[in-house]
Each structure stands twice: as C-alpha cells, then as structure tokens.
Amino acid sequence: MKKDSIIDKFIGCFKDIAFDVICKPIKKFKVSDDTLSASEKDLKKMLAKAKRELSKARKSHKHNKLSSEDLYIFENRVDDIKEDIEKLNDDEI
C-alpha cells in the first residue's frame, strides 16, 4: 500500500504526462544444472549411507539389540531421502 501512494504522488507531480505502468510477471528462479546434479549426487551418497545403516540396524534388531521404534527411524530416514531425490527429479522436468 505504501508503494502505491508513493507512485501516485510521483505521478501526480507530472499531471501533463501520461504514464503507462506495466507490471511484468516475475520469472521463476531456475537452479543451474550443475547445482541440481551436485545436489542429486549428494542425496544419492546420503541414501547409500542410510541404506548401510538400515542394514546394520536390521541385524541389530534381529539380535534384539535394537528396538522396533529405533528400526522404524532408520527406515523412515531412507524413505525421506528417496522422496527428496524424487522431488528433485520432478522439479527438473
């Protein structure tokens, strides 16, 4: 609102001149392909590490050294990283 009043005051100073105010749409920020590939590469590394940790957690759970709730946390982490990779790939298209 404050911007509109400033613009109106400015235009009011030049009553003899007709101003055509054109608003252009804001372009969506595009991330470079190098950044996307680096992010995907990092996420894939994280996924591989999370899968290894999940495998160890399953073995520990099998030997009753880890609770079901803790195992669920490891499984959830793997799923979250997979979803992040899918979202990144969907945004690229």
DSSP codes joined into one string, 81-93: HHHHHHHHHHHH-
- Which pLDDT tens digit goes with each residue over 65-85? 999 999 999 999 999 999 999
Place of tokens 């009753």: 64
- From the CB of residue 15, how many other CB atoms can be counted at a distance below 10 Å? 7
The token duo for 47 is: 């996924």
- Which pLDDT tens digit goes with each residue over 30-43? 667 777 788 889 99
pLDDT score of 40: 87
The token duo for 78 is: 């793997």
Confidence label for 89 from pLDDT (cuts 50, 70 and 90): confident
In this predicted structure, the answer to whether residue 57 has a pLDDT above a threshold of 70 is yes
Q: Give the C-alpha separation, 69 to 67, whole Å.
A: 5
